[in-house]
Amino acid sequence: MYPRSKSVTACLFLGLFGAENVLSADWQISKSITLAEVFTDNVDLEHDNKNSEWITTVTPNISVQANGARANLSLTGSLEANTGGGGSNSINPRLGASADAEVIEDFVFIDTSANITQNTVDAFSPSGVDSLNSTENTTNTYNYNISPYFTQRFKGAAEVTGRYTYNYQLNSSADVDDSSSQAVMLGVNSGSDFTQFTWGSTVNYKDSNSDTTGSELLSAGANFGYKLNRSWQLQSSLGYEWNEIDTNIRDSSNGTQWSLAAVWTPTTRTSLSIGYGDRFFGSTPTLDFSHRSRKSVFTASYSRELTDSATLLSQQDAFSTTDAFGEPIDPITGDPLPVSNSTINVTDGVFVDERFDLAYTLTGKRSTFRVGGSHSTQRFEDGRSDEILQEYNVGLTRQLSRTLDANLGVTVSQQSRESSEDTTTINYDLGVTRKVGVDGKFNLSYRLIDSSSDDITNDYQENRLQFSYTMSL
């Protein structure tokens, strides 16, 4: 499985970089390398009998941006080699890439993407915050997506769109299923002549398969919108869905689906959407709020959706390339590549994901303050106990001088399985970064990880001290 994953990734790299030879575009390429020395007093994340270790990491990084008349490419990649982790965890790739092209002018287009992330296999067992710990509780997830589509406009009367999407996901761990999916969408929507009243009709089909499970989702419906004034708009939809999923909690997964929503946009900086609907699994309330000022950004969202862990993993960002204000940032931090934990059981059945996210960022002249939280309740169709993931964080970054920055933060994450297991992990972080000339930066950081579990053998504490140097090439 693992060599196969590497082959797929290599082909993606070659295909994406090969575009440079055939596209006339504005290319921006940046490269760097990070050398780090990390000391941990609990490399195996044991409850007792702790072992300390010095770990060396070498991480080359590359970022590519290309914008052409009919094609665009964005790619950020890292390859970490370390002396910790043990076994296959000593080499860790990370990739976030996307490309789009206009194949036939104003008619046929194609979107492609590829990402590589590292994820926890079992959220209730120790895994650490990166691959440097020797727990063998992580998997490298290789995900790629290709989506050709067409758009045909009939003057200002209507627009017809058809899209096919193929997704393939591979995992380096034998404990995690590989998966694939195919999706087809065909829609007809009102054209530019319809300014106050809008309409549309859509058919969606998705077939998903993993090594052990599968599902088919088919839906058809119509949507309508009415603009009351410059600030208010009403939206609605009505349709029917036919689904084939593994379920032990209901007789049928088919039924009528509908939704109503009100959208308020008093300014270009503020938007609020509140809605309510119903599907075969129950009510589907929605909330989406965003407000931006010159110095702050506040966002909040709530939804209940039918999904699976493969879909959640495919939506992960390998790197954060913009801040809360949408401004570009350096995605290469110099820290060891992190482990994600967006789902408890990867590729393991269909579930209803009830999710709430909240984030606030305040930026001053020399300081940036961030606070955020997320709560996800996953209700599985096969009747397993509900699983809950929560994460709350607060952080402060302060520019001490033109060359010296300091940061501190606290992150609390919790995974729980109804009437069964509960794991809480708290990360305390403190660090300073000093710029050296225009091409380098030193980073010194300390981290305390305190994890407690209903299973006392999974309790652990770890102290981390890290010194790294990142140099642009």
Q: Which sequence spans correspond to the domains of the chain?
A: 2-472
Task: Specify the pLDDT at position 5.
Answer: 43
Kindly report, residue by residue over 364-379, the tens digit of the pLDDT: 999 999 999 999 999 9
Place of tokens 């060396």: 56
CB 450 within 8 A of CB 45: no
Higher pLDDT, 329 or 304: 304
What separation in angstroms does the CA of 129 have from each of 7, 86, 196, 322, 339?
Answer: 27, 15, 50, 22, 5
- Main-chain dihedrals φ then ψ at residue 281, nearest 5 degrees: -95, 0
The residue assigned the tokens 């499970």 is: 213
The rounded distance, in Å, linking the Cα atoms of 5 and 1 is 6
Token pair belonging to 3: 């060599």
Q: Which residues of 261-277 are buried (b: 16+ CB within 10 A; e: fewer)?
A: bebeeeeeeebebebeb
Residue that the structure tokens 């809950």 belong to? 388
Q: What is the pLDDT of residue 142?
A: 93
What's the rounded mean pLDDT across residues 14-37?
A: 70
Residue 443's closest CA among 132, 57, 86?
57
Q: What kind and span of H or E run contains 109?
A: strand 108-120
pTM across the whole model = 0.86
The tokens describing 294, both together, are 């010159």
CB 26 within 8 A of CB 69: no
- Cβ atoms of 182 and 168 closer than 8 Å: no
Return d(Cα 413, Cα 401) in angstroms, integer.
Answer: 33
145-154, 255-264, 307-316, range with the lowest pLDDT: 307-316
Specify the higher pLDDT residue, 246 or 128.
246
Note the pLDDT of residue 247: 87
pLDDT in tens, 170-207: 988 888 888 899 999 999 999 999 999 999 999 999 99
By the 8 A CB rule, do 405 and 433 touch? yes
Contact 289, 275 (CB under 8 A): no
| CA pair distance 445, 199, nearest whole angstrom | 54
Residue 215: Cβ within 10 Å count = 21
Nearest to 181 by CA among 204, 205, 207, 147: 207
Residue 134 clears pLDDT 80, i.e. is over it: no
Looking at domain 2-472, its CATH architecture is: Beta Barrel (2.40)
As a whole number, mean pLDDT of residues 300-312 equals 91
Residue at 156: amino acid letter = G
